[in-house]
């Protein structure tokens, strides 16, 4: 009859010991494998250059400059109070002039003052004429009348311009019939060009209008009559 705990105990002990031995053997084998798996450290080869000592030069003694005297700071003048800028008073805009409702009147140009008409005491009587004649001289003649009769001793002057330098210091005089004659000679021959005749008083003042004559080969004898106003 089978009785557990008495007959099988030796067998159980043998199996237990065998199992522990196998476990120990397996543990030792695992430790050897781990030890062999670690890398063997390599030893570096030391070269001669690495073994040669290097020379480091010692620093030379340099003269340290003595410290210079630092000037004491000068006192900074306190800034004076700056006066605040004064603003000029606002400039008033001049009022805008309104446009005139009506246009300013147009200023008319000043009226020229008429030159007073000089009333001469003697007038030209009738028409004026000029005919051809000799080239020895150019002449102007006529009759001077006053109160429907001959005016005796009246003076007639001639010039190369109206009121210009007279051709003679002695004017032509009218005779007892009131006839006068003014002669124009230039370089021994009859004068050509424009000339004027007019009456003057005893002081040489003009007393009649100027009368112009243009002398040429077809105008040598001019005629003009005067009368009292």
Joined together, the tokens standing for residue 85 give 């800028």
- Which of 10-14, 102-106, 144-148 comes out lowest in average pLDDT? 102-106
pLDDT beyond 60 at 83: no
Q: Is 184 left (phi over 0), alpha (psi -120 to 50) or beta?
A: beta
pLDDT digits (tens, 9 = 90+) for 172-198: 999 999 999 999 999 999 999 999 999
Within-domain flag for 47? no
Within-domain flag for 215? yes
Report the b/e string of 95-108 with b at 16+ CB within 10 A. eeeeeeeeeeeeee
Within-domain flag for 114? no
- Which of 53-67, 71-85, 136-150, 166-180 comes out lowest in average pLDDT? 53-67
Within-domain flag for 83? no
Within-domain flag for 197? yes
**Strands 221-228 and 211-215, bridge-based pairing:** unpaired
Q: What is the 3-state secondary structure (H, E, C) of the chain?
A: CCCCCCCCHHHHHHHHHHHHHHHHHHHHHHHHHHHHHCCCCCCCCCCHHHHCCCCCCCCCCCCCCCCCCCCCCCCCCCCCCCCCCCCCCCCCCCCCCCCCCCCCCCCCCCCCCCCCCCCCCEEEEEEEEEECCCCCCEEEEEEEEECCEECCCCEEEEECCCCCCECCCCCEECCCCCEEEEEEEECCEECCEEEEEEEECCCCCECCCCEEEEEECCECEEEEEEEEC
pLDDT beyond 80 at 229: yes
Within-domain flag for 28? no
Question: What is the model's pLDDT at position 173?
Answer: 97
Q: Against a cut of 0.85, is the pTM above it?
A: no
pLDDT category of residue 7 using cuts at 50, 70 and 90: low
Joined together, the tokens standing for residue 114 give 């008429």
**How many domains in the chain?**
1
pLDDT digits (tens, 9 = 90+) for 19-57: 777 777 666 665 555 555 554 554 545 445 445 545 555
> Do the Cβ atoms of 141 and 211 come closer than 8 Å?
no
The boundaries of the domain holding residue 216 are 122-228
pLDDT beyond 90 at 15: no
Within-domain flag for 178? yes
Identify the CATH number of the domain in which residue 207 sits. Answer: 2.60.40.10
Within-domain flag for 72? no
């Amino acid at each position: 009859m089978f009785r557990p705990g008495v007959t099988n105990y030796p067998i159980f002990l043998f199996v237990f010991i065998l199992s522990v031995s196998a476990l120990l053997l397996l543990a030792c084998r695992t430790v050897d494998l781990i030890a062999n798996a670690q890398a063997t450290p390599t030893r570096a080869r030391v070269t001669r250059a690495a073994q040669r000592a290097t020379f480091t030069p010692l620093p030379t003694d340099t003269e340290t400059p003595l410290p210079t005297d630092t000037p004491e700071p000068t006192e900074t003048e306190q800034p004076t109070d700056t006066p605040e800028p004064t603003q000029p008073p606002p400039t008033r805009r001049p009022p805008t002039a309104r446009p005139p409702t009506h246009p300013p009147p147009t200023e008319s140009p000043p009226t020229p003052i008429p030159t007073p008409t000089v009333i001469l005491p003697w007038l030209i009587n009738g028409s004026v004429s000029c005919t051809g004649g000799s080239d020895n001289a150019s002449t102007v003649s006529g009759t001077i009348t006053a109160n429907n009769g001959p005016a005796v001793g009246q003076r007639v002057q001639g010039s190369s311009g109206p009121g210009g330098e007279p051709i003679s210091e002695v004017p032509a005089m009218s005779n007892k019939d009131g006839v006068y004659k003014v002669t124009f000679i230039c370089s021994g021959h009859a004068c050509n060009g424009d000339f004027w005749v007019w009456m003057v008083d005893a002081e040489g003042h003009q007393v009649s209008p100027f009368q112009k004559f243009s002398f040429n080969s077809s105008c040598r004898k001019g005629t003009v009559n005067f009368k009292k106003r």
